[in-house]
Amino acid sequence: MKQVTISTPFITMIVLDYGAIIQKLLVKDKEGKSVNVVVGFNSPDKYLEDTKSLGACVGRYAGRISNGKFELDRETYHLHQKDGVHLHGGKEGFGKKYWTIEEVHQGRQPFVKLSYQSKHLEEGYPGNLKVNVTYKLINNQLHIIHEASTDRTTVVNLTNHSYFRLDDANQINEYNLKLNCKKVVEMYANKLPTGEIISIDLTPFDFLTEKPIENTRLDNAYVINPKTEVAAKVSSEKSGISMEVSTNQPGLVVYTPLDFPAICFETQNYPDAPNQKNFPNCKLRPGEIYSNKSKFVFDLL
């Protein structure tokens, strides 16, 4: 397993070729000490046993697809599923694959570019898909660029699955959170979309005004307000670190796991878009380029 380290005066980042995983992301707190703001393992080999997609590139379709299948151009494609739910690309999504390190640049705006070739009908998806992910550091910003091209029509939804923890506390209740999202994708109990988009008014998921997370636990697909530049902001008064998230994607899955303190911001399309006609387009055809551009900006309060 290979590691690549890139850094600016503000951020140091360690990336693995396995899963294109962000193993460590070190930023300075208010006292000038380096804090690893992503949850992960010190030993790269531990990721081989990971079941939570820690720091990984998730694909070919991030999130859930209903009934383990979808129809595309009048043909039905069957996917791996458990209890009627296909999750994060299948039994072995992109986060469980070895990627090729294409390029490493250590200059003023350092970056590492990785690629993966997903073969036709891998996990049941049509098309030979060429995927690139580039992690680029610009001063205090992490830019993540996912790109993909295909030789036949397919569906694509890529995201990074880092779990953020902005301090060394064993809880996130005191983190302040703001989400520039007025609506969420309505879900059934199994977290599959009903197909409806609903308002967050009078729900515990309303973070339009910045407030502490407290005991609210989230696993929601938010609809990003297209008029806003920043989709989300989270901060820790203990460390003094704040992080802003912006993206060209229509959705933001915000996830706080129950078994350890952290928060995910998965910039992506809506779950189950292949089966929901009123959701944003997730099809990629030959000659087109899929592009997910997301930015994470770290600062001090």
Residues 6+ apart with CB under 8 A from 29: 35, 167, 239, 240, 241, 300
Q: Which of 203, 161, 154 is nearest to 179 (CA)?
A: 203
Q: Classify residue 191 by burial, with Cβ atoms within 10 Å: 0-12, 13-18, 19+.
A: middle
Residues 6+ apart with CB under 8 A from 279: 193, 195, 269, 270, 272, 273
How far from each other are the two terminal CA atoms of the chain, in whole angstroms?
37
- Looking at the annotation, which residues are catalytic? 161, 266
- What phi, psi does 35 have (nearest 5°)? -120, 130
Residues 6+ apart with CB under 8 A from 128: 117, 118, 119, 120, 150, 151, 152
